[in-house]
Structure 1
Amino acid sequence: MISTIAATAAALLTLPFTAAPAGAHPAQAEPLPLTAAIAQLPSAAESRDGYQRTSFKHWIDADRDACNTRAEVLISESRTEPVIEAGCKVTAGEWYSYYDGVTLTAPGGLDIDHMVPLAEAWDSGASAWTAARREAYANDLDAERSLVAVSARTNRAKADRDPADWTPPLADARCTYTADWVATKLRWQLAADDRERAALTELASGCGQESVDYQPAP
């Protein structure tokens, strides 16, 4: 019986890959070297025509637990037990802003950054999405790379710029940032234009064995 099961399993492994049925949970992609991951980004020119920040509804309380997306990220990323008051108001904790290496204890000094800014996502393909998919993107709590608590100062310096025009001021953060950016774009199948791809490739050249892992968005 055991040999029969083993033979059946071996036979299954030789079958060609087929896509999962519609509605199935997307499979985890295998980790890729950073340069290989950049090569997998779709290529397209960018256009901001028609963009409005309100096209991406956020911050929402998707699971109806009284904590909106911003609060969920603050709670998840605090290095100490956060202080949470009525209405899921986070009032204290300890957060490390990896863009600039700053530690903060007051949430008012933090922004929740969309790794790939909403405007950049629009430019790169989200303009063709449904409103529901844009909402899912703007509140993506299912991937650690998608949303990150950082100092308000660095988030506002970054604004809606891609790595061709902005990288973290902390040099040691740039390889992580590049991998996070690429992972987010691959997760949501967002394109890169020529300047962005060139900047990512240059950054990756100094990142040694940095790898990218991501799970395609539903």
Structure 2
Amino acid sequence: MTITWRDFRRARRRSRQAWALLAVTLLALLGGLGWFFTAGQFAIAEPRMAGPTEAPVLAAGWMKPVAPVRAVPSGLAVDVLAVLPVKGRAASGNYNRSVFGQAWLDVDRNGCDTRNDILRRDLAGARFTEGSRCRVGSGSFQEPYTGRTMAFRRGADSSKAVQIDHVVALGDAWQKGAQQLSPLQRQHLANDPLNLIAVDGQANQDKSASDAATWLPPNKAFRCHYVARQISVKAAYGLWVTPAEKDAMKRVLGACPGQQTIVPR
């Protein structure tokens, strides 16, 4: 069989095409491996939970607003974030919970303490304990931080499964402006329904005093509301954000550019 020059050129062209295809495949494989060992393994491992995208603030008829330092500005959360002061953390060595007053006061004067107000607001089918019109004994809800459906039952051991979280943690607030507030203003911050949500106890412990730079709810669907609520609280009580916190908030809001501030209604 005689191999012509045309056959030789055709074979060489096919060989080059095969080598080019192999090179592209190898580059794609290396790129995929690089992505996996940097961010991909975390994206794959991260739980994708369906859950609520927002949470209530007030309940009409029986829950009253708490007077903040200033009204929450209405508008885009990202615009309000842009005007919040940006500073480093203040010292926290002199912090303890008592600087925000006694826990769970009846600040809005509706006859029930704040913890039970929030449970009643957030739980579906909330039932009071026998003989009480305030103490919530049971109920269920779709928990916002994890997206799971949870049941609450009052008891020495069972109550801790559902906790009331300060959206802007009090320890974080203390390091970002709350030291300049009056005792009454700090008491209001600790009991303001805008800053309180019933959540999974373990998620609340995981969050602790973290800000948005170091902790966000595992339920991604809730993150826009969560960050907007933190911005609203900080604006209402004259608190600042750190540079890392502001960057983290902007990244979250980048996925929901129309997110509004959370104005109590």
1:59 to 87, 104, 112: 104
Please report the TM-score for the alignment, with normalisation by the length of structure 2. 0.65
Q: CA deviation at 1:134?
A: 1.0
Kindly indicate whether the alpha-carbon contact (under 8 Å) linking 1:96 and 1:150 is maintained by their aligned counterparts in 2: no
Q: Residues 86, 63 of structure 1: CA spacing in aligned structure 2 closer, same or farther, 3 A cutoff?
A: farther
Matched residue of 2:129: which SS? strand
Query: Using the alignment, how far apart are the partners of 1:168 and 1:149 within structure 2?
Result: 13
Q: Percentage identity across aligned positions?
A: 29
Kindly indicate whether the alpha-carbon contact (under 8 Å) linking 1:83 and 1:93 is maintained by their aligned counterparts in 2: no
Q: Residues 103, 83 of structure 1: CA spacing in aligned structure 2 closer, same or farther, 3 A cutoff?
A: farther
What is the match of residue 33 of structure 1? 76
Q: Does 2:123 align with 1:78?
A: yes
Q: Residues 205, 52 of structure 1: CA spacing in aligned structure 2 closer, same or farther, 3 A cutoff?
A: same
Gaps of 5+ in 1: 1-22
Gaps of 5+ in 2: 1-66, 154-158
What is the match of residue 68 of structure 1? 113
Q: Does 2:182 align with 1:182?
A: no
Q: Residues 98, 36 of structure 1: CA spacing in aligned structure 2 closer, same or farther, 3 A cutoff?
A: same
1:44 to 72, 76, 87: 87
Between 77-86 and 125-134, the greater mean CA deviation after superposition: 77-86
Q: Which is higher, the Rg of structure 1 or of structure 2? A: 2
Kindly indicate whether the alpha-carbon contact (under 8 Å) linking 1:95 and 1:149 is maintained by their aligned counterparts in 2: no
Q: How does 1:33-182 map to 2 (within 5 A)?
A: 33-47=76-90, 48-57=92-101, 58-62=103-107, 66-87=111-132, 88-107=134-153, 108=159, 109-141=161-193, 145-182=194-231
Q: CA deviation at 1:138?
A: 0.6
| Greater share of helix | 2
Q: CA deviation at 1:41?
A: 1.2
Please report the TM-score for the alignment, with normalisation by the length of structure 1. 0.78
Q: CA deviation at 1:26?
A: 5.9
